[in-house]
Amino acid sequence: MFAAFAHGFILAIGLIMPLGVQNFFVFTQGAVRRFGRALPIVIAAGVCDTLLIALAVSGVSVVVLHFEWTKTLLVVLGFLFLLYMGYQSWRSKPETSRNAAQDGAAAPRLIGYTVMISLLNPHALLDTIGLIGTSSLGYSGSEKAAFTGACILVSWIWFLFLAAAGHVLGARDASGRLVGWLNKASAVVMWAAAVYLLLSL
C-alpha cells in the first residue's frame, strides 16, 4: 500500500507543479489578499482537483470525454473563458485589490472563476485521465484508495503552498507594483493557454 501511495504522490507532484492558469491564479490571489481571504480559492481549487481525480480513477471521465463533441465544447468554452479572465486580470488595479478583498464581497465571484479555471481546461482533464486514471488501473482495494488519496493530498498541499507563497510576496510589496506585474503575467499566461486550446482543435 505504501508503494501505491508513493506512486500517486510522485505522479501528482509531476502533474501539478508546471506553470499553468490554475497555479498562477491561486498564487496571484494569495498575493493580493490576506491568507485567510485566499482560503476559499484554495478550497475551491482543491475540491475541483479532488473531483477530477475521483472521476479519473473511477473511469467516469473517460466515458464522458469519449465523445468528440464534449471535447470540442470544453475547448470552446475554455478558450472564451480564458480570454475573458485574461482581460480582467490585465485591467485589475493592484492598489485597490487588497482593500476590495477585505470585505469578502468578491469571494463568490473568485470562487466561480477558480472552479471554471479548474474544470474548463481540456488538457488538464486529459492529463488527469491519461496519467492518473490510467495509472490507477494497476491498483484495487486499499492500494487504489492509497494511490487516489496521495494524488488528492498533493493537490491540497500545493494550493495551500501557492497561496501562502503569494501572500508572503504580496506582503512585501507595499507599492503594489509587483502585484501589478503578476496580474499582467497572469493575463499573458491565460491568453497563451487560450490560444493553445484553440490550436488544439
Position 93 scores a pLDDT of: 66
Does the global pTM surpass 0.85? no
Number of H helices, E strands in the chain: 11, 0
- Profile the chain (201 residues) by mean pLDDT over runs of 10 residues: 91 80 85 81 94 86 68 78 81 55 64 84 69 84 94 95 88 71 81 78 66
Helix ranges restricted to H, 33-106: 35-58, 60-64, 68-91, 94-102
CA-closest candidate to residue 45, choices 162, 156, 194, 166: 156
Position 162 scores a pLDDT of: 92
Domain range list for the chain: 2-200
Position 70 scores a pLDDT of: 73
Rounded Cα distance, 100 and 105, in Å: 8
Contact 166, 28 (CB under 8 A): yes
Rounded Cα distance, 22 and 119, in Å: 10
Position 161 scores a pLDDT of: 94
Position 89 scores a pLDDT of: 78
Written as nine digits, the cell of 87 is 482581460
